Homo-oligomer: A and B are copies of this chain.
Amino acid sequence: MYKREQTRPVKIGKLTIGNGNLVRVQSMTQTRTHDVAATVKQIHELEKVDCEIVRVTVPDMESAKAIKAIKKQIKIPLVADIHFQYLLAIEAAKQGVDKVRINPGNIGGIDRVKEVVKACRQKNIPIRIGVNMGSLEKDLYAKYGKYGVPRVMMESATRHVQILESLKFYNIVVSLKGDNSMIAREAYMLFAKRFNYPLHVGITEAGTLWAGSIKSAVGIGSILSSGIGDTIRVSIADDPKEQVKVGWEILKSLGLRQKGVEIIACPTCGRTEINLIGLAKKVEEIVSKVDAPIKVAVMGCVVNGPGEASFADIGVCGGKNQGAIFKKGKLIKTLKEEELLPVFIEEIKQVLIEKGYGGEVKKLKNA
């Protein structure tokens, strides 16, 4: 049913993206990169929320030269973000960066590109070409017009790719970002039809935390659900940890990654006889530290609840002053409302043990 576009494998440090490998969540620091202590501190925070690849801006030589010191203190692959200045890319490669983001068409000619390619080839690191809807070549824009923006983005990416291919360099990742989800999706789809380089997916300038999270979920989600995407970055104007959390949630909601407990909860209606929202929030809090990928349902009525949440490993549903616990769609216990939560926690423990996550039991908070 769901088919991911077949892309070629590309190594970024110890990770391989593309070729059906896991879709990876990445983010970017907001520190001055040459401030090694601050940058490492932020990367450590990102590692704690399971950021898997991290990018730093490299706007000057001081930042490029800081890469070795940063690399030594972090666990996840590091990417250098470079605009125009090819010498910074070469220095970043020398310093041991795991990937370079630079657009070969923008750095001042093929001789410079050759030098960058040589440095990346020596270190066996990939180059990400990053096309952005907001900075496209004027000639392409003139050719396809404002309704042809996805085509312009694809052609722009093609130009950059072909420069690298002319040097027999194929260790490439590509992004085609925009702040408009429909346009970005179309651009990614056009590119994926033509090339099999792994794709870095994102919606740029998504906005502030709440609106930006929704916009990113819509945009990145619709691209991923079309089978496209090997790594994602959520660009919301907030703490990068939030970007990582939203990224994971997008992947989880599509079943592309598993991480922690998934809570299924019905939206309640006038049939609901218990405080369902309160119960769902309590359950969410209780399992919030559990890393095992189990599905827990909190449903409002015994009639539809167990059936509609039959995909859940364990579930609870409310009735009149009472509730029931169900497992894989089958009712196993009926209880008074006040007994519901403690018994439910015991059942979650049981599920964790049965599924081989016994070590996670201690992470459950008692209600």
Contacts and interface: CB of A to CB of B under 8 A. Distances in A.
Nearest to A295: B179
A237 interface: yes
A206 B253 CA distance: 9
B207 A237 contact: no
Contacts of A147: 1
Interface in A54-78: 56-57, 59, 63
Contacts of A280: 207-208, 237
Number of copies of this protein chain within its complex? 2
A237 B208 contact: no
A294 interface: no
A1 B237 contact: no
A282 to B, nearest CB: 10
Contact of A249 (B215, B254, B309): B215
A179 B311 contact: yes
A212 interface: yes
- Chain A's interface: helix, strand, loop or mixed, by majority? mixed
Nearest to A266: B205
A263 B225 contact: no
B214 A269 contact: no
Interface stretch (A13-21, A181-189, A351-359): A181-189
A134 B308 contact: yes
Contacts of A284: 208
Contacts of A103: none
B29 A212 contact: no
Interface stretch (A111-119, A121-129, A270-278, A333-341): A270-278
A109 interface: no
A225 B267 contact: no
Given A1-B150, A218-B217, A57 B271 contact: yes
Contacts of A207: 262-265, 280
A281 B224 CA distance: 29
B304 A135 contact: yes
A254 B182 contact: yes
Interface of A: 1-2, 28-33, 39, 56-57, 59, 63, 81, 83, 132-135, 147, 150, 179-183, 185-186, 204-208, 210-215, 217-222, 224-226, 235-240, 243, 246, 249-250, 253-255, 262-272, 276-277, 280-281, 284, 297-299, 303-304, 307-311
